[in-house]
């Protein structure tokens, strides 16, 4: 495989001493870690460890009470999700958030929204610049469809698709934004073995072909250990491990967290 | 343009004796007509004959620059992509021999073919196929160069013997520019007696054999078939059947090049039905299971339609069954039926054909297995000219072709143009002599001598009879025809085909040779039985769970009893009635060696693997425990345990056929 030759670059995103609480519930406590360019970073941890909250902080959906997030050298406390998106952060969701009544192609096209310039009026008239723009974006989306091997469902409303394919469409929509950082929230939950293998291959291909940095949350340890360059472990909102998969496998705190030792 | 038609023996009046010579002709005389289309990025891309000829020329130059010489073999493995068809032309233009390999072969199967055919050059469609080739490369010392056409995922492969097809074609263009007479000289050096292709037959027994067909075989057979069915440059086909199957090479490459019609390659294997609808081919070839699947899908969707639509559908399908075939065959039909049929065409048949992509279809063939009479009649009733064809790789695809005017579901038609057929008096085996008779099996003199008699007759291995109308009816493989202990003829496939005509039965294997009665293994069709179970509120978890349900056994028993009743009415087959049966816990699968890649039952393998089950069928037990090692799609293996029920079916006393 190509993993050995992969060049991991500089720090892309740095999380410093993040704390997040909802009323009296502390979701995240004093968390720091880095995501480097071109790497596949997995965030793991038992249920309720704060993994999804962490992703929500990174893409600006939650605003941590303490700490800073530095993305491409610029530190920030508060950011709106659409700002994160325009800066090249795209994500998928744990409970698929697609437009159920729209086709696969249209869903993926929505991922291009931030790149489209045509206004309401020119889009309504369509001829001219709006048409040209549409063709360029459609071609881009068709490349994603080809890449994800979903040609057969191009025009099917996503609500009619099985779960595994919907996950793939959601990945396609995230890719349409040409992200430099891709956040995947449990991309393989509820999939059978074959679907998981396909998804692993797509994640590695995205990482390899487009050089996209990937930060994913996943419960399947086999998958995590296979495809990640580095793993961050959370438990009860605290970071208890950070390292390459081999280190994490041998980390006592991690083993305890998963096997349920008394806290 | 005026085309001279082929001579009565299938030879070309212009003396074109290899297929690349026809391509060179098309490059001039049909230069701007579409030759190929492929759907890419959601849009149909097309190439004219002029462009195709240019690509083939570049590819040939590239191959020659890499050291490909007259007589060399080029293995080709992948889906139906234009480049792969061009590669066939390029290899042939240089006097080389294409050896197509089934794209779903596992690495070991590929290894056998590449090794046996002494292949030096291989063309793989994509990374998946390259990976398979790389995994066996150290066992293939003769294999020098692997070309690949799709560069995706190949960035980190830096082996010097791996070459991108695009690069090779660029080098080929340069090579041709430097040697301007090279290609035409190579083309002219080819002759009709050269081998045009080696097709490895999947073979229901033993290792595959490499059938060598000469250009003469292919050109003459294609010319005769083109004249027989009036195929022209205006026809359109969808190329979706495996390249390694002789029929695809014959239709999508040879006939297409000779007649000059356009070949459309689907976007992916999953989109074939959508692409079919978009292209609307005029000429279509499909094995019976495709028509079966189409019919099943239509019927299942009609079950879910509103009551009004459902009633309308069934009413007009009734009209079509009564009148459609006669209208198609130009026979007299009552005026009321004719009017109703026209209305039905407007309301039901037309829209249905449109959905199926069959609106423009004027010629459809099915072959490979017997087709169920209900399925066959359904499509003909809709006004689709579906016909049966019988043949084999060794005969260059066809032996019998049904004529437009006389089509029956239970025979394969009269001998095709240029074909002499006879039936061996003792064994009942069908023998033939024709322009398409193959040259021989590659590196297998013994097998060639066994199949081809010195005076040119070839054994088909099939047992058949001629009907009074001069049509051939195939009963079974000659070697599978056995005897029951009572002395009666036992033709397992004849019975199996009758069983498989029921939508709920996907596969059947019938035993009875040297036994006192017949028994059967059944594979249910998960789609049909599953949807039936859903409608009747029967819950199930998996294939094996559903297969073991008593309700399913009852349903299958009804099917078997109907077949038994049918067999009882035919005195020669009455003894073949199935007395006891069981439903297998798993689907028979080509990956387990139980079926061939073309989905024919491998009787011997099954008899060996399931010997204990067969004994149980004859021992009077009513259940048997099985423990099977199964291989999952991802290569993992597991053990499966189940208790299979064995059930009895009613048999009937033979009677004279009524009417």
SS (H, E, C) B560-621: HHHHHHHHHCCCCCHHHCEEEEEECCCCCCHHHCCECCCCCECHHHHHHHCHHHHHHHHHCC
Q: Given this model, what pLDDT does residue A195 score?
A: 87
Residues paired with residue B124 on neighbouring β-strands, in sequence order: B77, B148
pLDDT tens by residue, A182-210: 999 999 888 888 889 889 999 998 998 88
Residues of B with CB under 8 A from a CB of A: 39-43, 152-153, 155-156, 267-268, 270-271, 274, 632-634
**Residues contacting residue B427 through CB under 8 Å, at least 6 positions apart:** B463, B478
First to last CA, chain B: 54
Q: Given this model, what pLDDT does residue A86 score?
A: 84
Between B375 and B254, name the one with better pLDDT: B254
Kindly state the average pLDDT of the residues B488-501: 86
- The shortest CB-CB distance from B268 to any of A138, A142, A151 is to A151
Q: How far apart are CA B287 and CA B573, in angstroms?
A: 26
At B213, is the secondary structure helix, strand, or coil? Answer: strand
The percent of residues in chain B predicted with pLDDT above 70, rounded, is 97
Please state at what angle helix B307-328 crosses helix B335-344, rounded to 10 degrees. 130
Beta strands (DSSP E) in B268-316 are: 283-285
Residues paired with residue B232 on neighbouring β-strands, in sequence order: none
DSSP notation for A1-31: --GGGPPP-SEEEEEEEEEEEETTEEEEEEE
Kindly state the average pLDDT of the residues A44-62: 89
Between B408 and B489, name the one with better pLDDT: B408
Interface of A with B in 161-200 (CB under 8 A): 193-194, 197
Q: How far apart are CA B584 and CA B615, in angstroms?
A: 14
The listed CATH number (1.10.10.10, 3.30.300.30, 3.30.70.100, 3.40.50.1370) that belongs to domain B482-648: 3.30.300.30
Nearest Cα of chain B lies from the Cα of A192 at a distance, in angstroms, of 11
Give B-chain residues touching A146 at CB under 8 angstroms.
40-41
- Nearest Cα neighbor of A70 from A20, A36, A41 is A36
Kindly state the average pLDDT of the residues B337-364: 95
Q: How far apart are CA A242 and CA A234, in angstroms?
A: 9
Q: Given this model, what pLDDT does residue B4 score?
A: 61
Q: Given this model, what pLDDT does residue B412 score?
A: 92
Q: Given this model, what pLDDT does residue A5 score?
A: 54
Q: How far apart are CA B262 and CA B294, in angstroms?
A: 24
Q: Given this model, what pLDDT does residue A4 score?
A: 44
Residues paired with residue B420 on neighbouring β-strands, in sequence order: B433
Nearest Cα of chain A lies from the Cα of B128 at a distance, in angstroms, of 12
- Mean of all residue pLDDT scores within chain B: 91
Which of B24-38, B262-276, B474-488 is predicted with the least confidence, judged by mean pLDDT?
Answer: B474-488
Q: Given this model, what pLDDT does residue B628 score?
A: 73
Beta strands (DSSP E) in B512-563 are: 518-524
C-beta atoms of B634 and A5 within 8 A? no
At A136, is the secondary structure helix, strand, or coil? Answer: helix
Sort strands B489-490 and B482-483 into parallel, antiparallel or unpaired.
Answer: antiparallel
Kindly state the average pLDDT of the residues A239-258: 87
C-beta atoms of B42 and A142 within 8 A? yes
C-beta atoms of A154 and B42 within 8 A? yes
The number of beta carbons lying within 10 Å of the beta carbon of residue B334 is: 11
Write out the residue limits of the CATH 3.40.50.12780 domain(s) in chain B.
19-228+241-255
- Asked whether the predicted pLDDT for residue B658 surpasses 50, the reply is no
Q: How confident is the model at residue A82 (pLDDT cuts 50, 70, 90)?
A: confident
* B19-228+241-255 CATH fold: Rossmann fold (3.40.50)
- Asked whether the predicted pLDDT for residue A152 surpasses 60, the reply is yes
Q: How confident is the model at residue A3 (pLDDT cuts 50, 70, 90)?
A: very low
The percent of residues in chain A predicted with pLDDT above 70, rounded, is 96
Please report, to the nearest 10 degrees, the dihedral formed by the alpha carbons of residues A30, A36, A39, A44 taken in order: 0
At B554, is the secondary structure helix, strand, or coil? Answer: helix
Kindly state the average pLDDT of the residues A89-118: 89
Kindly state the average pLDDT of the residues B414-438: 91
pLDDT tens by residue, B63-84: 999 999 999 999 999 999 999 9
Q: How confident is the model at residue B120 (pLDDT cuts 50, 70, 90)?
A: very high
Q: Given this model, what pLDDT does residue B293 score?
A: 86
Kindly state the average pLDDT of the residues B339-358: 95
Q: How far apart are CA A183 and CA A190, in angstroms?
A: 18
Give B-chain residues touching A149 at CB under 8 angstroms.
268
Place of tokens 């199935």: B578
Write out the residue limits of the CATH 3.30.300.30 domain(s) in chain B.
482-648
- Nearest Cα neighbor of B481 from B453, B513, B454 is B513
Q: Given this model, what pLDDT does residue A256 score?
A: 83
Q: Given this model, what pLDDT does residue A262 score?
A: 58
- Mean of all residue pLDDT scores within chain A: 87
pLDDT tens by residue, B136-155: 999 999 999 999 999 988 88
User: Is residue B495 a contact partner of residue B519, using CB atoms and an 8 Å limit?
Assistant: no
Kindly state the average pLDDT of the residues B78-91: 97
Between A114 and B321, name the one with better pLDDT: B321
Q: Given this model, what pLDDT does residue B3 score?
A: 58
Kindly state the average pLDDT of the residues A63-81: 84
C-beta atoms of B41 and A139 within 8 A? yes
Which of A143-157, B335-349, B479-493, B608-622 is predicted with the least confidence, judged by mean pLDDT?
Answer: B479-493
- Asked whether the predicted pLDDT for residue A260 surpasses 80, the reply is no
Q: Given this model, what pLDDT does residue A2 score?
A: 42
C-beta atoms of B267 and A151 within 8 A? yes
Which of A249-253, B22-26, B127-131, B190-194 is predicted with the least confidence, judged by mean pLDDT?
Answer: A249-253
Q: How confident is the model at residue B535 (pLDDT cuts 50, 70, 90)?
A: confident
Q: How confident is the model at residue B339 (pLDDT cuts 50, 70, 90)?
A: very high
Q: How far apart are CA B315 and CA B292, in angstroms?
A: 21
Calculate the CA A148 to chain-centre distance.
16
Between B605 and B51, name the one with better pLDDT: B51
């Amino acid at each position: 495989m190509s993993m050995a030759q992969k060049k991991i670059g500089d720090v892309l995103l740095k999380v410093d001493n993040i704390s997040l609480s909802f009323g009296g519930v502390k979701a995240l406590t004093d968390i720091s870690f880095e995501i480097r360019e071109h790497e596949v970073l997995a965030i793991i941890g038992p249920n309720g460890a704060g993994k999804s909250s962490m992703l929500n902080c990174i893409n600006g959906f939650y605003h941590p009470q303490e700490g800073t997030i530095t993305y491409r050298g610029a530190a920030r406390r508060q950011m709106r999700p659409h700002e994160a998106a325009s800066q090249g952060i795209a994500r998928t969701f744990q409970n698929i958030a697609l437009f159920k009544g729209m086709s696969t192609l249209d869903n993926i096209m929505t991922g291009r929204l931030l790149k489209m310039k045509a206004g309401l009026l020119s889009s309504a008239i369509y001829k001219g610049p709006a048409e040209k723009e549409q063709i360029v974006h459609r071609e881009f989306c068709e490349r994603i469809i080809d890449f994800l091997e979903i040609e057969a469902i191009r025009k099917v409303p996503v609500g009619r698709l099985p779960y595994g394919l919907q996950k793939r469409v959601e990945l396609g929509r995230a890719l349409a934004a040409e992200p430099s950082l891709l956040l995947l929230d449990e991309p393989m939950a509820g999939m059978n073995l074959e679907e998981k293998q396909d998804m692993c291959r797509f994640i590695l291909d995205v990482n390899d072909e487009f050089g996209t940095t990937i930060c994913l949350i996943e419960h399947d340890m086999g998958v995590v250990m296979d495809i990640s360059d580095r793993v961050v472990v959370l438990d009860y909102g605290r970071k208890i491990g950070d390292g390459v998969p081999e280190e994490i496998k041998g980390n006592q705190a991690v083993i305890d967290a998963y096997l349920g030792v008394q806290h | 343009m005026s085309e001279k038609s082929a001579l009565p023996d299938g030879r070309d009046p212009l003396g074109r004796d290899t297929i690349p010579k026809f391509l060179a002709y098309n490059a001039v005389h049909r230069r701007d007509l579409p030759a190929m289309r492929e759907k890419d990025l959601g849009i149909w891309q097309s190439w004219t004959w002029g462009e195709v000829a240019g690509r083939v020329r570049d590819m040939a130059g590239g191959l020659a620059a890499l050291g490909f010489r007259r007589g060399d073999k080029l293995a080709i493995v992948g889906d139906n992509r234009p480049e792969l068809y061009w590669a066939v032309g390029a290899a042939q233009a240089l006097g080389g021999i294409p050896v197509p390999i089934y794209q779903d072969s596992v690495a070991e199967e590929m290894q056998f073919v590449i090794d046996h055919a002494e292949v030096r050059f291989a063309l793989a469609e994509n990374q998946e196929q390259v990976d398979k080739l790389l995994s066996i490369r150290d066992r293939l010392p003769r294999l020098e160069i692997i070309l690949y056409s799709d560069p995706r995922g190949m960035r980190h492969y830096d082996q010097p013997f791996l070459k991108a097809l695009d690069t090779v074609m660029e080098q080929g263009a340069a090579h041709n520019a430097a040697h301007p007479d090279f290609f035409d000289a190579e083309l002219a050096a080819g002759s009709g007696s050269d081998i045009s292709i080696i097709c490895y037959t999947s073979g229901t027994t033993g290792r595959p054999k490499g059938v060598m067909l000469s250009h003469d075989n292919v050109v003459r057979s294609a010319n005769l078939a083109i004249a027989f069915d009036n195929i022209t440059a205006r026809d359109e086909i969808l190329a979706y059947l495996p390249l390694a199957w002789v029929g695809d090479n014959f239709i999508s490459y040879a006939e297409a090049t000779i007649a000059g019609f356009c070949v459309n390659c689907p976007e992916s294997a999953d989109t074939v039905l959508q692409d079919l609808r978009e292209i609307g081919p005029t000429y279509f070839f499909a094995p019976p299971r495709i028509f079966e699947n189409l019919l099943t899908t239509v019927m299942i969707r009609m079950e879910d339609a509103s009551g009004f639509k459902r009633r309308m559908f069934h009413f007009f399908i009734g009209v079509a069954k009564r009148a459609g075939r006669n209208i198609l065959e130009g026979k007299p039909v009552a005026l009321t039926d004719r009017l109703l049929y026209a209305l039905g065409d407007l309301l039901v048949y037309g829209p249905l054909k449109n959905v199926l992509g069959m609106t423009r279809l004027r010629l459809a063939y099915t072959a490979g297995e017997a087709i169920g009479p209900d399925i066959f009649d359904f499509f003909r009733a809709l006004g689709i000219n579906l016909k049966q064809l019988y043949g084999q790789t060794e005969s260059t695809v066809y032996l019998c072709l049904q004529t437009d005017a006389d089509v029956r579901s239970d025979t394969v038609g009269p001998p095709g143009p240029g074909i002499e057929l006879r039936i061996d008096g003792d064994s009942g085996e069908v023998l033939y002599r024709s322009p398409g008779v193959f040259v021989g099996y590659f590196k297998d003199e013994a097998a060639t001598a066994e199949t081809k008699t010195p005076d040119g007759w070839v054994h088909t291995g099939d047992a058949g009879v001629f009907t009074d109308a001069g049509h051939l009816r195939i009963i079974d493989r000659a070697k599978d025809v056995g005897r029951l202990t009572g002395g009666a003829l036992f033709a397992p496939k004849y019975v199996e085909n009758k069983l498989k005509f029921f939508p709920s039965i996907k596969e059947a294997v019938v035993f009875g040779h040297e036994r006192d009665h017949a028994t059967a293994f059944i594979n249910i069709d998960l789609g049909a039985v599953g949807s039936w179970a859903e409608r009747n509120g029967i819950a199930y978890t998996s294939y094996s769970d559903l297969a073991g349900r008593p309700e399913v056994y009852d349903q299958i028993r009804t099917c078997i009893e109907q077949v038994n009743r049918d067999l009882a009415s035919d005195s020669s087959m009455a003894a073949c009635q199935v007395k006891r049966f069981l439903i297998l816990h798993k689907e028979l699968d080509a990956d387990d060696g139980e079926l061939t890649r073309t989905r024919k039952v491998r009787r011997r393998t099954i008899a060996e693997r399931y010997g204990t089950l067969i004994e149980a069928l004859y021992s009077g037990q009513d259940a048997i425990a099985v423990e099977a090692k199964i291989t999952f799609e991802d290569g993992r293996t597991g053990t499966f345990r189940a208790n299979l029920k064995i059930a009895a079916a009613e048999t009937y006393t033979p009677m004279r056929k009524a009417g």
